[in-house]
Amino acid sequence: GNAERAGVLPGDSIARVTVYERDETGTSSFSGLAEETKSRTRDCEARDFDGTIDALAVFPGDDAAAVYLDVKRIRRWPKVAVTVEYPASQCAEGFDPVVQLELFAGENLQRALLNRGIALDDPGNPRCDFCGSNACYVSVGKGKSLLNPMGKTEEKLMERNPNVRLSCKATVGYNMQEGDLRLKVNLSQH
């Protein structure tokens, strides 16, 4: 209906209603008339349904030619479903070596994994030139396009292992993409 034609989407919040009025007075010394624009504003952010309807229906009055709405739009942040596989040698008896996570687009892969309790510990790997960790290397089995492109230095380091990324240099959900990502961590122990 009218909301759709005005560009208001489901989930939008009307923050303010404004009406502009032109007032013509005879105070100008040059032409005899001066036009002045006045505005009336009513905040309606965080109001209930009745309060918002009141602001839209009663506030402007019958003489308003147009009503302007300030709308706040809530944007859902894209999510990436990540499957992390530990080496069997690092898992206790009865522990599932596969962990399911949900990361948000724009998160640094290494920090996101550590913050969600993924143990990155691989003494068999060399230390990363960037972060100094020996567990920075991850193998990407699925969803490589969900990570940012490799920089020149990372490309050179990974020439022999094109499916391996440095987690400290990888960003999840590149270009605000959603999807599934499958990783193996602690690679020297697989």
Q: What is the pLDDT of residues 7-41, one digit of tens each?
A: 777 778 888 888 887 665 555 455 555 567 788 88
pTM of the model: 0.64
- CB neighbours of 188 closer than 8 A, spacing ≥ 6? 122, 123, 124, 125
Alpha-carbon gap, residue 97 to 99, rounded angstroms: 7
Q: How much is the mean pLDDT over the chain?
A: 85
pLDDT of the residue at 164: 94
Would you say residue 59 has pLDDT above 90?
Answer: no
14-23, 28-37, 105-114, 167-176: segment of lowest average pLDDT: 28-37
- CB neighbours of 159 closer than 8 A, spacing ≥ 6? none
pLDDT digit string, tens, across residues 76-104: 789 999 999 988 888 778 888 999 999 99
pLDDT of the residue at 25: 58
Q: Mean of the pLDDT values across residues 135-145? A: 94
The more confident residue out of 70 and 189 is 70
Alpha-carbon gap, residue 13 to 69, rounded angstroms: 10
Q: Which two tokens stand for residue 142?
A: 């699925």
Q: Mean of the pLDDT values across residues 110-139? A: 90
Residue 141: band (very low, low, confident or very high) from pLDDT cuts 50, 70, 90: very high
The answer to whether 114 touches 120, Cβ cutoff 8 Å, is yes
